[in-house]
Amino acid sequence: MSVVLVDAGGTNIGSVRYALQRLGVDAALTADAEAIRTADKVILPGVGAAAPGMARLRELGLLDVIRSLTQPVLGVCLGMQLLCDESEEGDTACLGLIPASVRKFEEAPERCVPHMGWNRLLPLASHPLLKQLQEGDWAYFVHSYAVPVGDYTLASSDYGVAFSAVIARGNFHGMQFHPERSARVGARLLKNFLEL
């Protein structure tokens, strides 16, 4: 099985590669359109802001490449947000693969933004990506913007408001949390993606 990590400039690429290696998969880091098109699985990692993330994909000529993929694709953290229609962050048009608008968390006295740390997952749908996920399992989040809950939401979490933690539409999937930093639960969900 060939797995590629899209070299979109995310700072979590090394930790995602290491998490995949622990699962027995050596994922190539690439910005090569043909390597991405022909891979069995594609992962779009990302840490940072929506506008620079989209600018990087545009500079690499990968927007239409990613939109045209038919194999399983996984966006992680910012990579998940980039799969959506648009982001409030910088008023950015994104890839348009998930019909959602990414919104900033509202700050409150009891809630710091960014949302940073461990939070519980609530499965909302039956899907192979969630195999063996239990209600209340913990995952590690670092984000200021979130995808609202919609019919694409497989699992949610709550930070003053419910938001999408895992999404899917067709062959495109996303995890808002960092599976590579989410211990057993993250490893299980990455393994589920590799088995799709």
Which residues are known catalytic residues? 77, 178, 180
Residue 73: which residues within 8 A CB-CB, separation 6 or more? 41, 42, 43, 44, 66, 83, 171, 172, 173
Q: Is the dihedral of CA 17, 23, 28, 30 positive or negative?
A: negative
Query: How far does Cα 123 stand from its chain's mean position?
Result: 16
Please enumerate in sequence order all residues whose Cβ is within 8 A of that of 88, keeping only pairs 6 or more positions apart, or say none.
101, 102, 103, 104, 145
17 vs 153: CA distance, rounded Å: 26
- Tally of CB atoms within 10 A around 161: 13
What Cα–Cα distance (Å) separates residue 80 from each residue in 2, 137, 169? 21, 20, 12
- Angle subtended at Cα 118 by Cα 116 and Cα 123, rounded to the nearest 5 degrees: 115
